[in-house]
Structure 1
């Protein structure tokens, strides 16, 4: 095996084990165990009957076909997941399905400050482009599992030069990235400003990265050219429902070959940059403006990575979730923070300015009245959704090391606080999705950790029961923690059941069967199946890398958290249109739950 000094970023991918196919019997039993806590005894008995019939009738046939598929592919889920979880949906990527995030540079070095937009943009472009070069040369370190084995780095291939292509019935995913050993790949950037779209060159013909001063010179020119009037605002089309955007795209390509060429320039770009004239004064305001701000004309929601630098200097980014999950974002954030920590903030890279170079090219599209109508409908759809999002976030006093010293996983501790908060606020279990990374396997992405277990709810009930002693509450807490640990290991080891059930469903449709009753049963949806979890949660690492995605259901919450050394950071997102939910109230409840849990584990009686 190559040493750490010589190993290349993607060199171990082909050696990783195939994604396993879980056992039918175990998966169905685990499914039954997970739903029992969220249904009535009568509903559970009906579901148990349906599941047992599935297990002895059509289930084995579907499992056998899925096994055959897995024998021909190292990751039987990969193509299906991309299509059915993302590309086939006709809902907009904007607001509903895109992610908004922020690097730690905002916290440590870039507080809001007017007049810094272009300089910070030039530096952000330079830093991200340097990571692009690092991946091209396969110089980024390979992450490893606790046992020392390498994990999948494949998602990093979709961070740059990736984009959705709209379709009427289903989108396509376009990827242009190549390593240096695989050949050349695009290395330009797209800049959106006041409705205009520009192609920005940040490398010379030898693929040498220009310094941030030269990038700044070009951004100043772009800003000057955009100031007098608004551009064509083609970017608003990417905020439309996907079938409408697909129709608009096909129509525009039929109008002009140049339109098709311009779309290809945008799709193949390393990433997009939006120079936004909004002025958020905090990181949360910036993230909220990223997912639902007023300047929809300066977005390209189909791109895998879009930097947004506001007039106030706040820097966030958005991404289409199709391309990658948290791993790629974490790796980029680690690189970015490292560069900002050591770089000369006056100029990053070569200080040379190339005055003789041509200025960035603006992409001018041919349009007609039909395109204008598509744009109007896209804005209408966007405004309908963007006005519904509510987001709050802040630090919570919870010491990660202290939690571990008490024998609890910091992640499980937070998941327990989320569940306790929901149970306290609503008096019922909250079906919960937690991301479980399956990166130990070839091209691995994620599976579902269903954290709303019987043990978890028994503990929630004990915490609210004034007749329970401190010792009884702690014992129940340990049982809930142990169960969370068990199902987490199950998920990351390829043994979770949600993606597996999805596979059986897809196989049933490909074989021409009627939809199996297990998927029509109300319990399937009620327990979160089919993307209907009330709580959508994910750990975002142990440093400042904030992020959020809209809740899966209208009466749900998204809770995304960082486990920092001396305090946690939580972001809560919900829909303002639902009278049952309130982001601030739920955030405060999570904070209170953590305080109660900490107090319980300390010496002395717990005050509940």
Structure 2
């Protein structure tokens, strides 16, 4: 149905797309970011284009809302995608323009008041205007706040975070333009993209609207920051920041749920050609031993710190092994794919209850990832109904954390997990300082 397409090329390879797409209230517009002479349009000219679109959205009716079809279940959307293309050449060209555009900006009518609301509206905001299969879409909320949402099958999710960071930094580094200065001799053409729709697709649009409204509040998202310390302090303890956070996360889960959890952490394999990711199963025997000691009232601070260091260092070692390609999950997934694609019976191992309980087959209770060392955080929904998504970035003095959970789960609570997580950071800091002070 859908395949990755290379849109960016070198100068020798020929021209690349230079158009941008703006969507809002179920309508889609396109304009070219280059003048006919090949020069870039100016920020002032972009502002005029955005103002023109905003005026249309404010004073004209809602559009046909075709983008909402991309938010249906994948099989249904695949069928609707083919149907759209079959109806007319115009539709095929419209889809090509959307998919190949250099950037997509979606106007969302919501007005979030916090980072948590910004995150929630990424998930349950304006479905009518976001083309779900786009690898990256910048969301502009009505009150001037921004977010970035993307479908990252074609690349590592951390690239979206880096992309947003580069945009952020460029805004800091580039002086604000003189908005009153505009070259009126050059007019940027703006065109609205419209689809040919039959009765069947019109019904599908209405059905998908109902489906999206029903699922609107399925996912709970928290956005918080731990401000007591960050990687600078962690490094003074000679511990790796990511491994440090992962082990504390395991302790937090055990404190809240009185059990351990199968855990997925993304291990990047970018030093391999076309390398993507491997799974680090970070709930190790060393972590389990630490949790037992940390939760035992008779344990001394020295015992807790020793077991904590062992768990953190083991995690760091296993992360390095996973990055070298020594993990098991991608190998097993490859075997499963080969069997499936060649219509060979899949090994019984993949249906074994213990394999599933360990997280196999996309059943990890904790789906986690570190997203680098900036202030930009991202998230996805949990893998399982009674699971969590835990995503974080670590700066010099702060740890930014986003946690997701399903509202229908009677077991999980994203907010309680976040509170417990923060308490464990403080607990470990007190213990580490107590041991260090005793050595003075």
| CA distance 1:356–1:410, shift in 2 (3 Å) | closer
Secondary structure of the 2:99 match is helix
Considering Cα pairs closer than 8 Å and 6+ residues apart, tell me whether 1 or 2 has the greater RCO: 1
Q: Distance in 2 between matches of 1:209 and 1:285?
A: 35
Q: Distance in 2 between matches of 1:355 and 1:195?
A: 32
The offset of 1:351, in angstroms, is 5.2
Matched, 1:357 2:159: no
8 A contact 2:19–2:102 mirrored in 1 = yes
After superposition, give the CA deviation of every residue in 1:212-238 in whole Å (9 maximum; x if it has no partner): 110011111112222221111111111
After superposition, give the CA deviation of every residue in 1:257-292 in whole Å (9 maximum; x if it has no partner): 111111111111112111111100122211210111
- Map residues 387-426 of structure 1 onto 2, 5 A cutoff: 387-396=217-226, 397-426=228-257
- Map residues 494-509 of structure 1 onto 2, 5 A cutoff: 494-509=325-340
Out of 99, 112, 134, the residue aligned to residue 280 of structure 1 is 112
Secondary structure of the 2:379 match is strand
Secondary structure of the 1:531 match is coil
- Map residues 430-469 of structure 1 onto 2, 5 A cutoff: 430-469=261-300
The offset of 1:404, in angstroms, is 1.0
Q: Distance in 2 between matches of 1:179 and 1:386?
A: 41
Which runs of 5 or more structure 2 residues have no equivalent in the other structure? none
Out of 385, 398, 408, the residue aligned to residue 215 of structure 2 is 385
Number of matched pairs: 435
8 A contact 1:214–1:354 mirrored in 2 = no
Structure 2 match to 1:10:
none
| CA distance 1:604–1:389, shift in 2 (3 Å) | same
8 A contact 1:212–1:351 mirrored in 2 = no
The offset of 1:513, in angstroms, is 3.4
Give the TM-score normalised by the residue count of structure 2: 0.94
Out of 352, 371, 380, the residue aligned to residue 549 of structure 1 is 380
Secondary structure of the 1:320 match is coil
Q: Which 4+ runs in 1 deviate beyond 4 A?
A: none
8 A contact 1:241–1:378 mirrored in 2 = no
Secondary structure of the 1:447 match is strand
Structure 1 match to 2:201:
371
8 A contact 1:214–1:351 mirrored in 2 = no
8 A contact 1:271–1:304 mirrored in 2 = no
8 A contact 2:262–2:283 mirrored in 1 = yes
Q: Distance in 1 between matches of 2:252 and 2:419?
A: 9
8 A contact 1:244–1:374 mirrored in 2 = no
8 A contact 1:195–1:231 mirrored in 2 = yes
Q: Distance in 1 between matches of 2:68 and 2:248?
A: 39
Matched, 1:577 2:408: yes
Q: Distance in 2 between matches of 1:524 and 1:354?
A: 65
Q: Distance in 1 between matches of 2:267 and 2:109?
A: 37
Which runs of 5 or more structure 1 residues have no equivalent in the other structure? 1-166
The offset of 1:579, in angstroms, is 1.2
Structure 2 match to 1:237:
69
Give the TM-score normalised by the residue count of structure 1: 0.69
- Map residues 27-46 of structure 1 onto 2, 5 A cutoff: none
Matched, 1:565 2:400: no
Q: Distance in 2 between matches of 1:408 and 1:421?
A: 19
Structure 1 match to 2:174:
343
Out of 490, 493, 512, the residue aligned to residue 321 of structure 2 is 490
| CA distance 1:244–1:326, shift in 2 (3 Å) | closer
Structure 1 match to 2:42:
211
Q: Distance in 1 between matches of 2:118 and 2:83?
A: 34
8 A contact 1:275–1:311 mirrored in 2 = yes
8 A contact 1:211–1:351 mirrored in 2 = no
- Map residues 177-326 of structure 1 onto 2, 5 A cutoff: 177-227=8-58, 228-293=60-125, 295-326=126-157
8 A contact 1:240–1:377 mirrored in 2 = no
Secondary structure of the 2:187 match is coil
- Map residues 88-99 of structure 1 onto 2, 5 A cutoff: none
